[in-house]
């Protein structure tokens, strides 16, 4: 057998239906796909490869998948995070008023590079933040974002959609350093999203895919919005979801909690192509409705929402629902390291149930690989190491002090590894991270561009005060101190 690459010598964790683990295993890759999996001994005899990747002492597994994150956050990080709602206010201001295409390109490159270094080969990225502010007043912003991702080489599911009614919303563009404000209607945003789908969906070797979004409708929206505005929001949500169904796209919503799933079902928004994030403090009937409609869930155990309430991920999975793991992006107090989020998920639910056996190690790895692929409708191509699938493969160096001694590889991988232990990343047969270094971009160039755009953004919003340490940064001092 002729192959482009033979990855050999590592512990191959397939995440296939049998959850097979092959010690001293090997994977042959040709034409961007996996063409053979077996022992290193057998495949060395059977395969003639142009390139050999020696992975002795490494774990070899499918690329990790981040089920929910936000574009834009990477350049805002912790600005104003100690000021109550200030961090979200900054997101809203930046994403509507102070983010030209160069901002979205630089942030996308930075976030994609972070994912790449952490072994995240596919991730969902909402083109904006909060639960409503999307940069969909013009297609150029999504295009700039996708160019940034493509240059690094990862896969991305970019979610776009309108802001929540009422409209119009005020946006601003920056051309030659000059700011220009303009009103943006629902129709303009919806048409922008359709153009984005036409231009970008399933492009770059299917590394870029587009999903549709409409903000969650909760009790406070019906209570606080004018009746006509709330009714219009319901109509708009159904319209956006129907378009997603017609085009075969994922429909997603960010920030479900405490009864909002009931509203979503009433509107007909639940179903196999729907992905709901956070889903904290659900009622029992909402868990049942999610499972019965095959609605998918993105659980973000490290997010602030998971502090304000609990996502019943265990109960959802016991009811038969698919639950993927998400990072909720790189801010305000977390990274895109899915190893961290796997470990956080286990502790989160074990603490709640006061039971150290809740959420087994293998199950949480499933939530970040094949389970997340199922949530995105992508199990035919990614999420596990099987012949015929895309060669999205990562290797993790287990020869580290915190990962010793050399036994129980999967246990060590999930419980003790971190993203910085990732050594190689292959996406679609292309080695885009080799020995810890990106192959498509220069890391220093990405960092420099991100720093430049962050400085410009801070200047545009007059945000230097949001960079200072808050008065309570070190906590309250006791009287005796």
- Decide if 463 is inside a domain: no
Q: What is the mean pLDDT of residues 216-225?
A: 95
Mean pLDDT (the chain) is: 95
CA 423 to chain centre: 21
Are residues 231 and 160 both part of a single domain?
Answer: yes
For residue range 65-121, list pLDDT tens digits in order. Answer: 999 999 999 999 888 877 678 888 999 999 999 999 999 999 999 999 999 999 999
Query: Using CA atoms, how far apart are residues 377 and 367, in angstroms rounded to an integer?
Result: 14
Q: What is the pLDDT of residue 401?
A: 97
Q: What is the C-alpha separation between 253 and 132, in angstroms, rounded?
A: 9
At 288 the pLDDT is 98
How buried is 104 (Cβ within 10 angstroms: 0-12 exposed, 13-18 middle, 19+ buried)? buried
Same domain, residue pair 399 and 416 = yes
Q: Are residues 218 and 304 in the same domain?
A: yes
151-186 burial: b if 16+ Cβ within 10 Å, else e: bbbbbbbbbbbbbbbebebebbbbeeeeeeeeebeb
In a domain, 366, yes or no: yes
- Tell me, yes or no, whether 52 and 68 share the same domain: no
Q: Is 147 found in the same domain as 35?
A: no
pLDDT (average), residues 280-291: 98
- Mean pLDDT along residues 310-339: 95
Question: Is 410 in contact with 88 (CB distance < 8 Å)?
Answer: no
Mean pLDDT of the region 465-475: 86
- 3-class secondary structure, 225: coil
| Within a domain: 440 | no
The verdict on 21 and 51 lying in the same domain is yes
Q: What is the pLDDT of residue 27?
A: 98
At 204, which CATH number?
3.20.20.140
> Can the peptide bond before residue 282 be classed as cis, meaning omega within 30 degrees of 0?
no
Is residue 212 situated within a structural domain?
yes
pLDDT tens-place string over residues 11-43: 999 999 999 999 999 999 999 999 999 999 999
Strands 393-397 and 58-62, bridge-based pairing:
antiparallel
For the chain, how are helix, strand and coil distributed in percent, rounded to 5?
Answer: 40, 25, 35
**Of 416, 435, 454, which residue sits at a domain end?**
435
| Per-residue confidence (pLDDT) for residue 130, from 0 to 100 | 66
Would residue 460 count as lying in a domain? no
Number of domains making up the chain: 2
CATH code where residue 429 lies: 2.30.40.10
pLDDT band of residue 480 (cuts 50, 70, 90) is low
Residues 313 and 195 in one domain: yes
Q: Are residues 187 and 271 in the same domain?
A: yes
Per the domain annotation, does 478 fall within a domain?
no
* Cα 198 to chain centroid, rounded: 22
Same domain, 47 and 99: no
Cα 71 from chain centre: 9
Q: Is residue 444 part of a domain?
A: no
Residues 6+ apart with CB under 8 A from 298: 67, 68, 124, 252, 275, 276, 277, 278, 323, 324, 325, 326, 375
Domain housing 92: 64-375
> Are both 142 and 36 inside the same structural domain?
no
Q: Which of 398, 418, 435 is the last residue of a domain?
A: 435
Reported as a pLDDT band with limits 50, 70 and 90, residue 451 is very high
Same domain assignment for residues 236 and 123: yes
Categorize the per-residue pLDDT at 128 as very low, low, confident or very high, splitting at 50, 70 and 90: very high
Supply the Cα-derived Rg of the chain in whole angstroms: 22
Residue with tokens 């992975």: 55
- CA–CA separation, 401 vs 418, rounded Å? 12
pLDDT > 90 in the chain, percent = 90
Using the predicted structure, report yes or no on whether residue 481 has a pLDDT greater than 60: no
Q: Are residues 155 and 173 in the same domain?
A: yes
């Amino acid at each position: 057998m002729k192959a482009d690459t033979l990855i050999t010598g590592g512990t191959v964790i397939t995440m296939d239906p049998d959850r097979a683990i092959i010690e001293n295993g090997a994977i042959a890759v040709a034409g961007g796909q996996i063409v053979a999996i077996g022992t290193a001994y057998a495949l060395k005899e059977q395969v003639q490869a142009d390139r050999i990747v020696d992975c002795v002492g490494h774990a070899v597994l499918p690329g990790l998948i981040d089920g929910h994150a936000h574009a834009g956050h990477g350049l805002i990080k912790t600005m104003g995070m100690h000021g109550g709602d200030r961090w979200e206010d900054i997101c809203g201001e930046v994403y509507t008023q102070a983010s030209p295409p160069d901002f979205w390109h630089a942030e996308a490159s930075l976030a994609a590079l972070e994912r790449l270094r952490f072994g995240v080969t596919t991730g969902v990225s909402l083109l904006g933040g909060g639960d409503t502010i999307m940069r969909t007043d013009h297609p150029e912003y999504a295009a700039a974002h996708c160019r940034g991702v493509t240059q690094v080489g990862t896969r991305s599911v970019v979610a776009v959609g309108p802001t929540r009614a009422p409209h119009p919303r005020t946006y601003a563009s920056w051309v030659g350093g000059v700011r220009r404000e303009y009103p943006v209607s629902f129709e303009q945003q919806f048409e922008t999203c359709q153009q984005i789908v036409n231009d970008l969906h399933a492009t770059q070797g299917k590394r870029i895919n587009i999903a549709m979004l409409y903000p969650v409708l909760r009790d406070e929206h019906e209570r606080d919005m004018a009746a006509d505005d709330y009714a219009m929001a319901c109509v708009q949500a159904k319209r956006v979801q129907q378009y997603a169904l017609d085009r075969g796209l994922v429909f997603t919503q960010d920030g479900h909690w405490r009864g909002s799933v009931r509203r979503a079902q009433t509107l007909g928004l639940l179903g196999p192509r729907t992905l709901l994030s956070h889903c904290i403090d659900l009622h029992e009937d909402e868990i049942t409705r999610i499972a019965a409609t095959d609605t998918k869930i993105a659980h973000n155990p490290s997010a602030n929402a998971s502090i304000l309430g609990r996502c019943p991920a265990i109960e959802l999975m016991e009811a038969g629902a698919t639950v993927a793991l998400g990072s909720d992006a790189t801010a305000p107090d977390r990274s895109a390291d899915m190893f961290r989020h796997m470990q956080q998920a286990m502790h989160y639910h074990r603490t709640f149930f006061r039971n150290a056996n809740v959420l087994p190690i293998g199950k949480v790895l499933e939530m970040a690989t094949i389970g997340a692929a199922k949530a995105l409708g992508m199990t035919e191509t990614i999420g596990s190491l099987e012949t015929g699938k895309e060669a999205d493969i990562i290797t993790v160096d287990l020869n580290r002090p915190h990962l010793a001694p050399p036994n129980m590889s999967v246990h060590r991988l999930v419980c003790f590894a971190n993203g910085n232990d990732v050594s190689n990343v292959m996406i679609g047969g292309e080695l885009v991270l080799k020995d810890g270094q990106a192959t498509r971009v220069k890391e220093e160039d990405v960092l420099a561009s991100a720093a430049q755009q962050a400085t410009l953004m801070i200047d545009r919003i007059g945000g230097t005060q949001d960079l200072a340490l808050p008065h309570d940064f070190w906590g309250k001092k006791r009287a005796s101190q």
